[in-house]
Amino acid sequence: MRALADALGEPGEPGVLAAAPARVLTMDSRPLTVRWYYDIWQRLPGVRNGLYGRGVIGVSEAGHRRLAALPQVMNDDLAASVAFGPHERRIVRQARVVVHPPRTATDLMRRRVRALTGIAQLENTMDGIGGARTTRADLLRILRAEPAMAPRLAVFLGVTAVARWKARRPIRSRDYTTWLRDDSSRAVATKESR
């Protein structure tokens, strides 16, 4: 937490209003589908640079005022991330948070449907969400830089396509309150989390 607070007050970066720790994903005991999905997900620019999915966001007083003005939404961490421009947010590499991805493909799908539903809600309530969306250009950059990622990209696209199909109903009905929880990543502490 100290590193996040320090990032908000660094003399060389007076405009930083929000800071978050670097993510470390635990992939032990995850099926291939989950591992390959996250191999691509971690490489996306919005994921690398966004404040969401990190469990904690440190904000300055001005940053807190900005967050307090946001509407109540399902994807509150994504809303917080897009509330700050790239020059106003910082990922602090010296601070780390361990993130436990879903342990099953079914729970990955629940998480993705929830995320897509929340994104649709944000698009209806806030400006500036477009920059948080994954583009074809983002995916092509990953593939050009690492051609061996092609099979993983196919899994990522497959999961995304199915999740979009499953998210149609809650999006159409504007069901922004049903929390499709990933119970598998909240399982009783195992050797990996000790």
DSSP H helices, 73-189, are 76-82, 105-125, 136-145, 150-172
> Is 70 exceeded by the pLDDT of residue 19?
yes
The answer as to whether 192 is a domain residue is no
Answer whether residue 23 is part of any domain: yes
* Inter-residue contact 80 to 70 (CB < 8 Å): yes
146 has a pLDDT exceeding 70: yes
- Does residue 17 sit within a domain? yes
**Type of residue numbered 128:** G
The count of structural domains within the chain is 1
Asked if residue 108 is part of any domain, the answer here is yes
Q: What is the mean pLDDT of residues 160-182?
A: 81
- pTM exceeds cut of 0.95: no
**Does residue 166 sit within a domain?**
yes
Rounded Cα–Cα distance for residues 117 and 123 (Å)? 10
Report whether 25 contacts 96 (CB < 8 A): no
Quick one: average pLDDT of 20-30?
95
What range defines the domain where residue 25 resides?
2-181
pLDDT digits (tens, 9 = 90+) for 55-70: 899 999 999 999 999 8
pLDDT digits (tens, 9 = 90+) for 78-102: 888 888 999 999 999 999 999 999 9
* Residue 28 lies inside a defined structural domain of this protein: yes
- Distance in angstroms (rounded) separating the CA atoms of residues 35 and 149: 12
